[in-house]
Amino acid sequence: MHELSMTTQIVETVLAEAKKHGAKKVIEVKLVIGKMTFLGTDQIGFSYKILTEDTILKGSKLTIEEKEGTIECPNCGYKGTVPIKDDPAYHIPVPTLQCPECRRAAKIVEGKECTIKSIKMAK
C-alpha cells in the first residue's frame, strides 16, 4: 500500500548516487525486497515507471530479487525459513513465528529488506 512512497525514496536515492558519480544516465537498478515486508513487487515496478518518467532513470531496467523470510529462535537456536501452518480449518496456509522445534516464539532475522543492491549508470 505504501509502494509509491517507498519507490519515491528509492528513486531519490538512486538520483543522488547518480549525481555523486556524475552519471548522465541510469541503465539498471537492482533491488532486494524481503517477503516479510508489505511491499508488492508489481506495484513497485509500476510506481518506478511513473516516477522515473522525467528523470535520467527513464527507461532503465528495474530488477527485483525477492528474499525469503528467515526466523531464529532465541530459546533453542533453531534457524530456518518462516514455517507455514497448513491447518485445514484455516483454509489458507498461514506463516507463523512459532519455532518448529520448541514451539516458543522465534524472531524474524531475514526477509524485511528493501535494499538497493546495485546501480548501473553511464557517464
Partner 1 sequence: MADANDVIKGEEVTLEIEPGMNILEVNKKLAQKNKERLNKHNVKAIDIMGSIGAGKTSLIEKLVQKLKNKYKIVVFKGDLTTTIDAERIGKHGVQVITINTGRECHLDANVVAKAVERIKIEDIDLLIIENVGNLICPAEFPLGTDKRVVVISVTEGPYMILKHPFTFMNADVMVINKKDLAQTMKIDTNQLENQAKEVKPDVKVAVTNALTGEGVDELIKALEL
Cell 511513473 locates to 50
* Calpha distance 46→117 (Å, rounded): 19
Does the protein bind partner 1 through residue 5 (CB under 8 A)?
Answer: yes
101 burial via Cβ count (<10 Å: 0-12, 13-18, 19+): middle
CA–CA separation, 75 and 106 (whole Å): 8
DSSP 8: H
Q: In this complex, which beta carbon is closest to partner 1, that of residue 53 or of residue 85?
A: 85
Shortest separation between residue 46's beta carbon and partner 1, angstroms: 17
- Work out which of 96, 100, 101, 110 binds partner 1, going by CB under 8 A: 96
Give the interface segment with partner 1, choosing from 47-55, 59-67, 91-99 (CB under 8 A): 91-99
- Interaction residues for partner 1, span 19-78 (CB under 8 A): 21, 23, 27, 36-39
Which residue's entry shows cell 518518467? 53
Residues making contact with partner 1 (CB under 8 A):
1-2, 5-6, 9-10, 13, 17, 21, 23, 27, 36-39, 85, 90-92, 94-99, 103-105, 108, 112-123
